[in-house]
Amino acid sequence: MKKILILSAISASILFASCTKEESKTTVITPTDNTLLVAQKNMSLINKFTGTNCYYCGDWGWTLIEDLITNHKDDAVVVGAYSQNSFAQLFICSIATDWDKRLPVTEGYPTFAPNFVDSWLLPIADDLENNIETTVTAQNNLPVLVNTAHTFKIDGANLTVTSATKFFQDATGEYQLGVYVMENKVIGNQSGPNGGPSASHHNVLRAGNTSWGEALANGTIAANSIINKTTTIVLDPKWKVADLEVFTVIWKKNGTKWNFVNAHK
């Protein structure tokens, strides 16, 4: 399996896609008031850090993300993270760029990162799929600390997400909830043998409330605490509503960075 080394940064004239939020409200409630059933379940977040001018992103990276989407319908959110990188051209989103820098991507593109672990750097050299599977399995087997359930509705250009987040264990620290939108089957050029001018791109990250979400809980959190939030994200009229999917990520602060805790779709 080949990889491409990172080249010099692309021209700053390429614009970031808008990743904006409109409104967010938080209410702490008792379990009996909760209207959403939160599953006691862990789910992974698998990012493919990619670019439309990256040959191998449209080669083995293209088939690998297809396999991951097929094989992890129930235990992972698989995202095409088109960051501002040396192979960037289309679909660039500032959230993907922040996630790229947080990892950080060092080995080249594409880089697959389950739960913000660089699969290039895991023990089995050049066996990315096995490395990803190992990381997802480990996440599945952890005791569930916290998870989110959500519903959403679209009214014109506004996508409103109603969520409930439940802590299944006592917890301490600062947590945030990220609410994100991705679009599947986005048509655009892609370098590589599976690409071309009309390639159908997988699960393209489009928008979110912020890169690391918004305040969820801070301090000492008692088991069975439930936090309700309402978040509204403004949609780009060019996005196909039928191909949009909403997912959430719970982050915990670690020093100056945010660590992945759990995902939900």
Interatomic CA distance for residues 124 and 117, integer angstroms:
13
Q: Give the Å distances, CA to CA, from 39 to 128, 141, 149, 150, 210.
A: 29, 15, 7, 11, 24
Could you report the per-residue pLDDT of 35-72, keeping only the tens digit for each?
699 999 999 999 999 999 999 999 999 999 999 999 99
pLDDT at 35: 67
Q: Flag whether pLDDT at 104 surpasses 80.
A: yes
**In the structure encoding, which two tokens stand for residue 244, read together?**
């949009």
Element (H, E) at 131: helix 128-141
Query: With pLDDT > 90 as the criterion, what percentage of the chain qualifies?
Result: 83
Could you report the per-residue pLDDT of 173-229, keeping only the tens digit for each?
999 999 999 999 999 999 999 999 999 999 999 999 999 999 999 999 999 999 999
**In the structure encoding, which two tokens stand for residue 136, read together?**
């997802």
Q: Flag whether pLDDT at 11 surpasses 70.
A: no
Contact between 207 and 92 under an 8 Å Cβ cutoff? The reply is no
Element (H, E) at 136: helix 128-141
Element (H, E) at 130: helix 128-141
Greater confidence, 28 or 36?
A: 36
Averaged pLDDT, 110-121: 95
Mean pLDDT of the chain: 89
Backbone torsion region of residue 216, taken as left when φ is above 0, otherwise alpha when ψ lies between -120 and 50, otherwise beta = alpha
Quick one: which of 175, 176, 148 has its CA closest to 163? 148
**In the structure encoding, which two tokens stand for residue 242, read together?**
């039928």
CA angle, 240 then 234 then 214, to 5°: 125
In whole angstroms, what separates CA 48 from the centre of its chain? 9
- Domains detected in the chain: 23-264 (2.60.40.10)
Averaged pLDDT, 93-109: 97
- State the DSSP string of 63-103: HHHHHHHHHTTTTEEEEEEE-SSTT--SS-BHHHHHHHHHT
Phi, psi of 41 (to 5 degrees): -150, 140
- Extended beta strands in the chain, E state: 23-29, 44-50, 76-82, 111-114, 146-155, 158-167, 171-183, 186-190, 196-201, 204-208, 214-221, 226-234, 244-254, 257-264
The reply to whether omega before 104 is within 30° of 0 (cis) is yes
Q: Give the Å distances, CA to CA, from 191 to 155, 231, 252, 259.
A: 36, 36, 36, 32
